[in-house]
Structure formats: structure tokens, C-alpha cells
Homo-oligomer: A and B are copies of this chain.
Amino acid sequence: MRQAGRYLPEYREVRAKSDGFLDMCYSPQKAVEVTLQPIRRFGMDAAIIFSDILVVPHAMGMEVGFVTGEGPKLVPLSSKTDAESLKTDTGSFLSPVYEAIAKTRAELSPSTSLIGFSGAPWTLACYMFEGGGGGEFSKARQAIYAQPELFFGVMDRLVRAVSDHLILQVKAGADALQIFDSWSGLAPAGLHENLIYEPTRRIIREVKNTYPEIPVIGFPRGMGGSLGEYVNKTGVDGVGVDSFTSLFQARQDIPPQCVIQGNLDPLLLATDKEKTLRQAREILTLMEGRKFIFNLGHGIVPHTPVEHVAALSEMLRAESERACA
């Protein structure tokens, strides 16, 4: 999950010198710097490249803006002409992301993994048809029924653009990939195959055609009742579990060869250090004997005290050393 962010004073410094949020994503030097900041402070086992899921729609030709405190704004897709003007050849537009990955890889210690990522097609389509976030994406969900050809045409283009974006991130040096389907919980039940499983499966096949060994982690947020099905139908190597889902149940539902990642509530981390450490220990105990990556259930929130993250990282490092000793 997102490690960089406003909770770090050194991030706020870079942010203050940038011309908006997207400028940070497209300035390799800034992206490298904020990617490395949490690793320098806390020494996590893996870094995740600083970027945003909306760089893909942006690269496809959509207008994307970030208004502080309001979240992303896009000019929503509505016509066939809009959809047909979407580019799928996004590699040169997104070259600053790949440059940032190459530079970050070069600066990171060899023992620290670097994770590249993308939004999943359904989640990106949500923003592209809605024109932003903040609600339950009813405009986007209605577009599935009202303009199915248009909608699924866009989904097809997204599969291609996302596949290329992930492949180019591995080419640049990413050691693992994560696919964020942040709004999969809002997909109508009868369309999970068309909206979630099939697009993700196609992307993973494309990526593994080029890089058979690259591990891919899926994050089907809000789909806690279907994690086993998600793993079996998409072919992910690992699955991120959100904070709304019981890890006990996830452990039962997810096949044992699949890595589980999760799921401390970022709001707990932001609030109560002692309870955070207690819950983190409970998570470790529960996941004994499983392939497991400790993580938050979602990205870190801006008002998180740095000291809480430090204490959690220290505890996890000590536990990890103890377990490997």
C-alpha cells in the first residue's frame, strides 16, 4: 500500500516545491525522492513506487486534475467519440514513471524489493465514467447498463494500457507488481467475471507472457466474500486483504500457495500506538504457517504520527528476525 505521503515532513517539503500532485508523479527525481523517504526512515522490506492509478487514464488522453481536499477530477467519458479517442499506446507519456523506477531500483539496497503498480480496469473505468471519486460511482455503474458497448470497449482499451504499463514497469526494474481494484466491492454481483476477473486475468497473462517469474499481487478491495474465487479466476500470486475483511476468513478462503497481504486498519495506526502493536502481533500469530506479507489494509492516512509508523516497523523487524533466527 501507499507508504509515502503527507504524514512525513520531508514529503510535504517536496510537495510544497511541486506544481501539483501530478507534477510529482511525472518528475522522476521527485518521485524517486518520495519513494525512498519512508524506506530511509523505517527500512521496510519493499518500496512501492510513488505514482497514482490515474496516470493511466491521463496517458490515454483524459484530462485529470487533483484538487487538494476534493480528490481527483476528470472530464467524464460519455460518447463513442470520447472512447475512440482514448490512446492505448501510453508508454512514452508514462516514461517518467519508468525512469523513476529505474533510478529508485538503482538507489535501493539489493535486499529491498521495488513494487510497481496500476489500477485495475474496473476501478479506472469508475473514475473515467464518473468524472471523479467521492461517492459510490453510480454514473459509472449505470454506464455498464446504459452504454454496454461503449463501457466494455473502454474496458478493453484499459486492459491493453494497464498490461503495457505493468510490463514497462518490470522492464524498468520493478521486482513485483500490484493491481489495485479499489472499487471492486461496488461491481454488480452478476458482472464480477466481466468487470473484475476476466480483465485482471488477461492483464496477468499478458504480463507473464513477457515476464513469467514476476509476482503479481491483486487488491480486490471490498470483495472480502470472494477472495478465493478472485485468486482462482485471476491467477494472482498474492492478494491484498482490506481492513473490512477478517484475516481469519481470508486464511480459510485463499488457497495456500497464494501469498496473503494485509490488513492492519490505517485508521488504527493513525490513532493508537499500543493497540496498533497489539493488533499487529495478533495478525502475525494468526498468519503463522502461511505465506504472508504484513501490510496495512489500505494506504497510510495523512494525519498518521510518524512515531507510530516507526514503532510498528521496529516491532515487525524484531519479530521477523526472531522468526528467521
A residues contacting B by CB (< 8 A) are 134-135, 138, 141-142, 145-146, 185-190, 192, 222-227, 243-247, 249, 263, 265, 267-268, 270-272, 275, 279, 301
User: Would you give the shortest CB distance from A287 to chain B, in whole angstroms?
Assistant: 14
Task: Tell me whether B138 and A301 are in contact (CB under 8 A).
Answer: yes
Task: Tell me whether A246 and B189 are in contact (CB under 8 A).
Answer: yes
A90 CA / B188 CA spacing, docked (Å): 38
Task: Tell me whether B247 and A189 are in contact (CB under 8 A).
Answer: yes
Count of this chain's copies in the oligomeric assembly: 2
16 A–B contacts, CB within 8 A, in A order: A138-B267, A138-B301, A141-B265, A141-B267, A145-B265, A145-B271, A145-B272, A146-B272, A188-B267, A188-B268, A189-B246, A190-B279, A192-B246, A222-B222, A224-B225, A225-B226
* CB-CB nearest in chain B for A140: B267
5 additional contacts, CB 8 Å, given A141-B265, A189-B245, A224-B224?
A145-B265, A145-B271, A145-B272, A188-B268, A189-B246
Residue among B138, B225, B267, B270 making CB contact with A245, cutoff 8 Å:
B225
Residue among B142, B222, B225 making CB contact with A267, cutoff 8 Å:
B142
Task: Tell me whether B271 and A142 are in contact (CB under 8 A).
Answer: yes
Task: Tell me whether B268 and A145 are in contact (CB under 8 A).
Answer: yes
User: Would you give the shortest CB distance from A5 to chain B, in whole angstroms?
Assistant: 15
* CB-CB nearest in chain B for A243: B188
